[in-house]
Structures are given as structure tokens and as C-alpha cells.
A and B are shown apart, each in its own frame.
Chain A
Amino acid sequence: MDNKKDVKGFLEFVYEFYKSMKAHEITLVYEGEITHQITKAFTSLTESNMAKDDESGSVQRKVFHVMVECLQNISKHADDFTSNDYLFSGRGIFLVSKGDNEYSVTTGNAVDNDRIEELTSMLESINRMNKDELKDLYKKQMKEGRLSDKGGAGLGFIDIKRKTGRDLEYHFLPISDDTSFFLLTSTIGRDE
């Protein structure tokens, strides 16, 4: 940005970006390393915004739950990604949007292609389950599941589906021959 034209172009981009965020009702967007500090900052920010908006206690709690599980998923799994690609290694994108009827929490992070099958089958099987099946699976995982080195217990996706009552929507987009970008979005109804 060493000349005026570039600066102007950049500022115009910022305005387009802002309009685009508004159009998609995005209230929070972050790109970068997701740490525990970031998790605490975003959850407390969203919490105080929801309190200001007089959101019901139940909705506030559900959004909080989903945000924590999504952020911790990324912070615990981002370094499973083995590529040294500086654009994606250890990083991710995190978005919160708020519409008239619902909140959405969306995460994106790079994964090795050999994890796609495992993730897909896990998400699909959770999506197929009804309330009671999810409850039984959660209890089983708590009892039998071991805490991984990174402190995960394999319970995050199950909890999100249980708390939101909606399917986990996801998508994989190719980055290279070996890696893909994994996007996951969870929706919390505001009238539930």
C-alpha cells in the first residue's frame, strides 16, 4: 500500500466487507489462532451483547455452549493439521451471526484429507440420532471415552446437536491434493 490508489482500493474493499457482513448479519468475525484467551474474550463479548439485547436465559446459555464447544474444537484440533502451509496451519475462522429468528455459530479450519471420512461419518451418525439416542451416546462416551491428550472427550458435536436440536451443517472445500477446509455451522433458534 505505498500509493494512494492502493490505499483507496483497500478502503473500498473494507467498506464492501462491512456491507457484506451486514448483509449476512455477522456480529463477530475472527481469523487467526484460536486460543483459550480468545475463547474467553469472544464468549464474554457475545454474552454481554445478548444480555443487552434482553435475549432469554435459555438462548444465552445455548449460544454460550455452542460457542465454547466450537472454539475449543478448533483450538484443540487445529494443530492436528500436519501441513506447514502458513496460510492455514494452526488457524481458523470463527463467525457469529444474528438474524431475526436465530443465531449461527460457524467455524472453519484446515484438515488433512484423511480425516474427512472420520469426521463425515461422525457428523452424519450424530445427525441421524434422535434425542434419546443422543442422550445415550453422550452418557456412553462420558463413561467409556478417555480424555485425549488435548483434553477433548469426543463429546462436543453430540452436545451441540443436543443443545440446538438441529442438524450440524458442514462442508469440505478442497485446499490442495492433501488438505481441505472444514466448515461447520450450528444454529440456535431465538424463540426456543
Chain B
Amino acid sequence: METIKIQGTEDTPKVTLDKEKELLEISGRSLPEDVASFYDPILNWLDEYAESPNAKTIFNFKLVYFNTASSKLLLDILMKLEEIHEAGNDVTIRWHYPEDDEDMEEAGEEYADIVDVPFEQVPYSG
């Protein structure tokens, strides 16, 4: 399956979706000019991945900032992961947040409330 690698910029996150290396991660900042067109390929990739996921899927969110329009698309990603989980697969979300950023921590808690997937909150320093 095709690998997605997008370099991060000041307004778009770094994205790695690599099934073979079992690396699924989105990090950095997200306030793209056109959120839908930025996230479409990611959601499409997950649709394809859902057809034959790895034995274990760990999806890492390591965002330092996202705008409200992105928050909706992040939920779309989480709901796709929820579907994969509901289909009987082992899925874990790891929500990394700077340890001094309460808002980012709370955003993770809110997503964890909405979707029914094992959800780990991972604070980091620096």
C-alpha cells in the first residue's frame, strides 16, 4: 500500500502514514487554507488501510496547534480509526501533548469522550 509522507510547514502538519513500517503519525501545526483538500488524501488512505489493517494499529497525534476547522477533520480521522476498531482490530490512539498545555490535553480528553477507541494521553516536555 502506498505510503504518505507530507513535510510539515508553518500552517500544515507533518504526516506519515506507512503501513509497512507501522508508522501512523500526524504532528505539528494545522491551520491549512483549505482543510478539506489537505485532509482528503489522509482520510482516503485510512479507508484503504481499513480494508486490511495491520495486526496492531497505533495512531500518534502530536499536534502543538490546530484551528477549529482542523478539529472537525481530526475527528473524522478518529472516527475512521473507531470503525477499524469496531471491525474487531487492535487500535490505539496516542494523544501526545506538551505537558504545560492544558488546552491540548483537554482536546485529547474530549476526543476520547466522543470516539470509542483505546485512547492514551501522553504528556511530553519541551
Q: Which chain B residues border A159 with CB–CB below 8 Å?
A: 68
Q: Would you give the 0/1 interface string for A65-103, flagging 1 where the beta carbon is closer than 8 Å to chain B?
A: 100110010000000000000000000000000000000
Q: Would you give the 0/1 interface string for A93-136, flagging 1 where the beta carbon is closer than 8 Å to chain B?
A: 00000000000000000000000000000000000000000010
Q: Which chain A residues border B11 with CB–CB below 8 Å?
A: 36, 40
| New A-B pairs, 20, CB < 8 Å, besides A139-B113, A147-B69, A147-B73 | A36-B11, A39-B31, A40-B11, A57-B98, A58-B100, A61-B65, A61-B101, A62-B103, A65-B65, A135-B110, A138-B110, A142-B72, A142-B75, A143-B114, A147-B36, A151-B69, A155-B71, A158-B68, A159-B68, A163-B103
**Would B67 and A69 count as touching, CB distance under 8 A?**
yes
Name B's A-contacting residues (CB within 8 A): 10-11, 31, 33-36, 65, 67-69, 71-73, 75, 98, 100-103, 110, 113-114
Nearest to B9 among chain A residues (CB) is A40
Tell me, in angstroms, the Cα distance from A33 to B91 when the chains sit together: 45
A153 located at the interface, meaning its Cβ lies under 8 Å from any Cβ of chain B in the complex: yes
Main secondary structure, interface of B, reads helix
Question: Given A57-B100, A139-B110, A147–B72 Cβ distance below 8 Å?
Answer: yes
Question: Given A72-B69, A139-B113, A151–B100 Cβ distance below 8 Å?
Answer: no
Q: Which chain A residues border B35 with CB–CB below 8 Å?
A: 147, 151
Nearest to A154 among chain B residues (CB) is B68
Name A's B-contacting residues (CB within 8 A): 36, 39-40, 44, 57-58, 61-62, 64-65, 68-69, 72, 135, 138-139, 142-143, 145, 147, 151-153, 155-156, 158-159, 163
Tell me, in angstroms, the Cα distance from A72 to B110 when the chains sit together: 23
**Would B68 and A153 count as touching, CB distance under 8 A?**
yes
**Would A145 and B67 count as touching, CB distance under 8 A?**
no
Tell me, in angstroms, the Cα distance from A69 to B98 when the chains sit together: 22
Tell me, in angstroms, the Cα distance from A39 to B11 when the chains sit together: 10
Please pick, from A57, A62, A69, A151, the residue contacting B36 in the complex, using a CB distance under 8 A. A151
Question: Given A69-B68, A159-B68, A151–B34 Cβ distance below 8 Å?
Answer: yes
Question: Which of B69, B98, B102 has the most chain A CB atoms closer than 10 A to its own CB?
Answer: B69
Q: Which chain B residues border A69 with CB–CB below 8 Å?
A: 67-68
Tell me, in angstroms, the Cα distance from A142 to B78 when the chains sit together: 12
Please pick, from A57, A58, A139, A155, the residue contacting B68 in the complex, using a CB distance under 8 A. A155
Nearest to A156 among chain B residues (CB) is B68
Tell me, in angstroms, the Cα distance from A156 to B35 when the chains sit together: 14
